[in-house]
Each structure stands twice: as structure tokens, then as C-alpha cells.
Structure 1
Amino acid sequence: MYPLKKLPICIFLGIGLLWLANNGNAQTKVQALIPRDEIVLPDVKGGFDLMAYDFLHQRLFLSAQDNHSIEVIDLKYNKPIKSLAGFNEPKWVFYHPETNVLYVATGRDGKVTAVDAATYQKIKTYVFKEACNNLRYDKLTNQLFVGIGHTFGAIGIIDLNTHKISRQIPLAGFPKQFELTPDRIYVNEPSKSLIEVIDRKTNKIIASWPVKSDKDNVPMAIDRAKQRLYIGCAGGRLLVFSMTSGKELSRIAIPKDVDGIYLDSKRSRLYVSCGEGFLDVFSIQKDELSLVQQMRTRRGAGTGLFIPIANLYVLAEPQNEILPAALRIFQPAL
């Protein structure tokens, strides 16, 4: 547990003042995300990467990559409950509710570690050649897909039935975020300014789509119903691609250092978190995106997560010279 009561009162006053100063919307047409709570993480140093949610126990698992830990947060009572140390730059987490196991991908040592989410003990490690990043899960096949590499690129496949690495699919460049469909894998490869498409039946590349950017296509979101990919470029662009033709359909300017894009299909919105210090909400009308809300956040706050089942959006804000790290919780407006 974190000693919240021992924090100086000036820190809490500072948090409140900064919230009032920065929570005003830089550009707002509607209030699409409504601030609900803030959870202070005083012992977490540095920045964050991705998160996973446990609906049954209302736990959030947050990769504190610079702190080399996984932070476990109770979203029912809005408090930290556990810090899991000993991970070598955790990048991505996936929670498997059927087995109550957490999978952690680490960047520096190229591992995916399985953790018993009841005891928080490590139970198995899958070792790859280089950095592990993005994790995606296919429930139908019970496979966990892993983005691998820094000097090279591959998608690794862990068979959770046999608990073995079953395959690695080579790529043109190292993968950042990728998305699955039943028959395809769409992979962002910024070092090559490409989106590569993998046929899951043959495990081979069937298409390579150029991205007109400066080797900065990092986050990705998929709209399976509309057959669209949303690609974030760190230099300050949000692109819409057709999943059928591979063509860029539209683009729009966004703040720099985008790291998270999430689709809210129920409301036809995109939630876009940018490390420059902004959280943008876009309305989707056909292939056109329009900004409906922009909120100032802390610089470096690029890690977000939309949780449809809980109707929440959460944003991780790193510590700075004045304030400790914190998790901000928003409620999407109807």
C-alpha cells in the first residue's frame, strides 16, 4: 500500500491547483469525457506504458516502464493496492480472466512473463531474442501475439493451450502497435514507414502499405465494422486507412507524441492521448474526423486506456518537478 496520508498537504494543494489550471479545455464543442477521479501514485517514478483491466475484481494493471514495476490499482475504491517490482522495462500487459493470469511484455530483456494475479507470483517466462512490446489476444484460438524486436522485427505467437511459443513471423521492420482480425494482422512498423498485413492462415505478409510520415507511425486502432485503421504519427498527424484497399483516406493534425488511440464504437469517437500534453476526442463521420474536445494534460501523459465494459477512460500521468505520478479517470458522456 502507498502511504498516501504521509504526503505533505502542499502536494495535495498543488495537485488541486494544477487540476483547476489545466483541466480547462483548450478547444471544446461538447464535453465528451467528464473528469471523475484522480488516484495519486507517489512512489512511481518516470513514465508509463500500456494497461490492462480485470473486470471481475475491478483492478487496473499499469506498466510503469521507468519504475520497472506493474502497478495494481483498485478502481472500485480508487486506490493503489500493489506494486509488482522486478520487471525490466514493462511495456504492455494483458490480463486473461479465465485463468486469472497477467502477461507482461518487457522491453529490455525480450520476455513475456506470466504472473498469477491472485498471488502476484511469476509462474512462467517466454523468452524472445529482443524487446517485447505490444500484446494482443485471440480468444477463439487462445493465442497471445507479441511484437518483437528493435534491430529486426517479428510477431511471436504463444499458444496458451500448450504454454509454448509456437511461431515467429518475420517483418520488414520492428513492430509497434498491431491489431488482429480473425484472418489478418495489421502491423505498424515506424522504422520502415509501413503497415504490413499478415494472412493468419499462411502466416505470411500479403500487403505492405506505405505511411506518409517521418518514421513515426506508432499507435493504431481498428474499426472492424467500418473496415478502417486509425494511425497516430508522433509528429502530429492522425491518419485514416482503408483496411480493404490499404489507401489513406484522410488525415488531421493532432498534438505531438501521440501514444494511444482508442475507438469508442458506441459513440463513434476516438480518444487520442498525446505526450505533448493533450487528450483529444474526435467524432467520426464517415471517414472524416472532427475534434469535439481537447483537454490539457501533463506533458508525457501519452498512456491511456478506454474500458468499454466499465464505461471508463483512464489516463496515466508521469511525475514531474512538482507533482507525483497520477491516474486520471474519466466518464464518457452519453
Structure 2
Amino acid sequence: MNTRFLTLCACAATLTSFVSSPAHAQKPFHITDRWVVGGEGGWDYLTADPASHRLYITHTNRVEVLDTTTGKSIGAVTGLTRTHGVVIMPDGKTGFVSDGGANQVVAFDTKTFAAITKIPAGTNPDGIAYEPTTNTIWAFNGRSKDATVIDVAQKKSIATIPLPGKPEFPQADGKGTVFVNIEDKNSIVRLDAKSMKATATWPLTGCDSPSGMAIDASGSRLFSVCDGNKMAVTDATTGKSLATPKIGADPDAAGYDPKSKLAFSSNGEGSLTIVDASKPGYPVLQTLTTEKGARTMSFDSGNGKVYLVTSKFAPADPANPKARPAPLSGTFTVLVVGR
């Protein structure tokens, strides 16, 4: 956090490219800090909660909770099996985590980090979102290819909605609509929260295996990150494709900053792509070198920072070179990106 902004020359020396524009005549993004969390195993999504200055990170069978002002651990939600996504309620008192290994969603107290209740879901709940107009949690089940809708007040499932394929990351627009990427069909499904029904399926032209998704709620745009080095930008009202800017390889998460109109893609190759969503054609503003494996991220709207996670890895297995290498114990780390 105490590192000064890098100059353009320093950025070039560290393999960070930056394209300036009048709309973003600011210094480039760079890694400002590294917080070593440690522990064992892999990870999935992370969620920044600006109101409480906390970062929630799903980490194998637990959720790590860090103070974003210091980078220090303030606790963990434990007793889980294989965690994927976290949602924190607007009042900040309760969180929900999808536990894919146990086919359930777990509600927890954000003060004590103790589990409040465990809610059965479909098979392997993964991405998760909060829909405020109906006060519901939406858990998207990768293996059973459906969505579990949970009433927050009752903390119980009230519906199961079938989907046309394997769902990945969802987003809610805050006005009664939920969107989710369908990974194996290269599409987006739009769902009505009140009727709890799918209302449209939109093909993602030029997008293969969409995973992470960000939303510009006020501008009605969706940003899906795809294999093949593409970000698919979609009109959230009509489903029309708006652009497919080039991003890094092996992405898994996306973010959007409504203040600066920037879209982010975290890429497992070891890069963060920053797209200028204020301009026609959606040009890439910057490609920041991060670290290999840093393929999930969360944007913090409170401080404008991006958080990514990765670790050191064991050598690849020559007998199975396509297998993801195992994370090395004690090396799990948060990368903090700012400018």
C-alpha cells in the first residue's frame, strides 16, 4: 500500500503496457502489495465488501477473511467441503457461501464466522448472487445444470430452475433480473427473479466457454470472459453483441468499475486485462503482468483496487501435462492492484 505509483518507463521495464487516453489520463495500474495468506489447497472466487473493508476468499474447505486496510487475517469460515462463491448481505450481518463439495449453500454470521444454517442446493453449487428486489440468493449448480433460489429471510430453498447447460458466474442487475453464463453452450441466460423463470437465451458470438461475468447495471451491459482471449460485451436489454475485445489467456473472473468505466479480466496466464468501456470498440487500456494462476479477482468499489489470488505451484506432471499443477503449501497469496 505504501508503494508509489510507477512511471511509464518503470511500467515498461516490468512488462506492463499502458495506452493513455484523455478519459483516463492517470497513472497505470500496478501491483501495490502482496498479502501471504498461506494454508493448503486451491481456491475459486473472492468477494470484496467495501462497507466493512473486508475481502472474502474461498480457499478449498474454508473462506478466508482479510482486512483490506491492513491485509491481515481477521478470521475464517470453516467446516466446509469445497467452496466456490461468497455473497455478503447489504446489512453486512450475514454471508452465504456455495459449498460445492457438499451440494449446499451455507449461511454464516459475519461477526463470529460461525455457520447459521446449511441449505440444500443442486449438485455442485458454484457461482452465487444476491437479488435485492426479491431478497433471494441464487446458487448456480454446475453438475445438475440448474439454479437453486433461496429466500434470505427464511433461509430455505424456494425454487429450482432448470438451465440449458452448465452455469458459470452470475450477475444481478438490482432491478429483478439475473444473468448467468452457460459455459458449455457459449451463451447467457436471462432470468426473471419474480417469476423465477428463464426469459431469454442469448448466444455469445465469438466466445468460447464463458466463465466470469461483470455487469454495468446503469449502462445495461454484461462483460463475459471467454477462452480464446476474448471478452464478450453484451447489451443486457437486447442480448446484442457489442464488442469482443482481446484479453489474456485462461480467464476465470471479471470486474467492472462504474466510476471510470473500466472492465477487468483476470487471466490465469499471469495478466490482468483492463478494457476502456467508455469508448467505441472497447480498446484495451492496459495489460498488467500479474502472476501465473491469478485467474480470479474482485473489484473493490470503495477504494478502486483489484484483488487477485494465486500461489506457487509444484512442477507439472510429465505423465499428465494438461493437468493443473498443485499449489504449494503456505504460498497462497493475494495480489493487490491499484494506481
| Structure 1 stretches of at least 4 aligned residues deviating more than 3 Å after TM superposition | 20-23, 53-57, 212-215
Return 242-251 or 120-129, whichever deviates more: 242-251
TM-score (normalised: structure 1): 0.84
Identify the residue that residue 334 of structure 2 maps to in structure 1.
Answer: 327
Higher strand share: 1
| Cα distance in 2, alignment partners of residues 52 and 221 from structure 1 | 13
Confirm or deny: 8 A CA contact 1:54 1:97 kept in the other structure: no
Map of 1:269-308 to 2, 5 A cutoff?
269-308=262-301
| Cα distance in 1, alignment partners of residues 127 and 138 from structure 2 | 8
| Cα distance in 1, alignment partners of residues 92 and 83 from structure 2 | 21
| Cα distance in 1, alignment partners of residues 279 and 220 from structure 2 | 11
Q: Report the Cα offset of residue 149 of structure 1.
A: 3.3
Paired AA for residue 64 in structure 2: E
Q: Report the Cα offset of residue 318 of structure 1.
A: 2.2
| Cα distance in 1, alignment partners of residues 12 and 118 from structure 2 | 42
| Cα distance in 2, alignment partners of residues 203 and 94 from structure 1 | 19
Q: What per-residue deviation string (whole Å, max 9, x for no partner) do you get for residues 19-44 of structure 1? A: x999923422254324322111232x
| Cα distance in 2, alignment partners of residues 190 and 287 from structure 1 | 27
Identify the residue that residue 114 of structure 1 maps to in structure 2.
Answer: 107
| Pair 1:264 & 2:254 matched | no
| Cα distance in 2, alignment partners of residues 216 and 22 from structure 1 | 32
Identify the residue that residue 27 of structure 1 maps to in structure 2.
Answer: 17
Identify the residue that residue 6 of structure 1 maps to in structure 2.
Answer: none
Paired AA for residue 110 in structure 1: N
Q: Report the Cα offset of residue 247 of structure 1.
A: 2.1
Describe the shift of the 1:215–1:289 C-alpha distance in structure 2 as closer, same or farther (beyond 3 A).
closer
Q: Report the Cα offset of residue 238 of structure 1.
A: 0.9
| Cα distance in 1, alignment partners of residues 13 and 111 from structure 2 | 36
TM-score (normalised: structure 2): 0.83
Paired AA for residue 25 in structure 1: L
Confirm or deny: 8 A CA contact 1:23 1:295 kept in the other structure: no
Q: Report the Cα offset of residue 93 of structure 1.
A: 0.7
Percent identical among aligned pairs is 25
Gaps of 5+ in 2: 1-9, 21-26, 315-327
Q: Report the Cα offset of residue 192 of structure 1.
A: 1.7
| Cα distance in 2, alignment partners of residues 50 and 34 from structure 1 | 21
| Cα distance in 2, alignment partners of residues 220 and 199 from structure 1 | 18
Identify the residue that residue 134 of structure 1 maps to in structure 2.
Answer: 127
Confirm or deny: 8 A CA contact 2:83 2:100 kept in the other structure: yes
| Cα distance in 1, alignment partners of residues 207 and 283 from structure 2 | 23
RMSD over equivalenced CA pairs, Å: 2.4
Describe the shift of the 1:287–1:211 C-alpha distance in structure 2 as closer, same or farther (beyond 3 A).
same
Describe the shift of the 1:317–1:253 C-alpha distance in structure 2 as closer, same or farther (beyond 3 A).
same
| Cα distance in 1, alignment partners of residues 31 and 333 from structure 2 | 13
Aligned to 1:37, which of 22, 33, 36? Answer: 33
Aligned to 2:248, which of 245, 255, 270? Answer: 255
Describe the shift of the 1:76–1:161 C-alpha distance in structure 2 as closer, same or farther (beyond 3 A).
same
Q: What per-residue deviation string (whole Å, max 9, x for no partner) do you get for residues 73-92 of structure 1? A: 12222222334433211000
Identify the residue that residue 44 of structure 2 maps to in structure 1.
Answer: 49
| Cα distance in 2, alignment partners of residues 41 and 286 from structure 1 | 38
Paired AA for residue 39 in structure 1: W
| Cα distance in 1, alignment partners of residues 109 and 312 from structure 2 | 29
How many corresponding residue pairs?
Answer: 309
Aligned to 1:148, which of 128, 141, 157? Answer: 141
Map of 1:9-20 to 2, 5 A cutoff?
none
| Cα distance in 2, alignment partners of residues 244 and 159 from structure 1 | 26
Gaps of 5+ in 1: 1-19
| Cα distance in 1, alignment partners of residues 96 and 231 from structure 2 | 29
Identify the residue that residue 164 of structure 2 maps to in structure 1.
Answer: 172
Confirm or deny: 8 A CA contact 2:214 2:255 kept in the other structure: yes
Describe the shift of the 1:163–1:296 C-alpha distance in structure 2 as closer, same or farther (beyond 3 A).
same
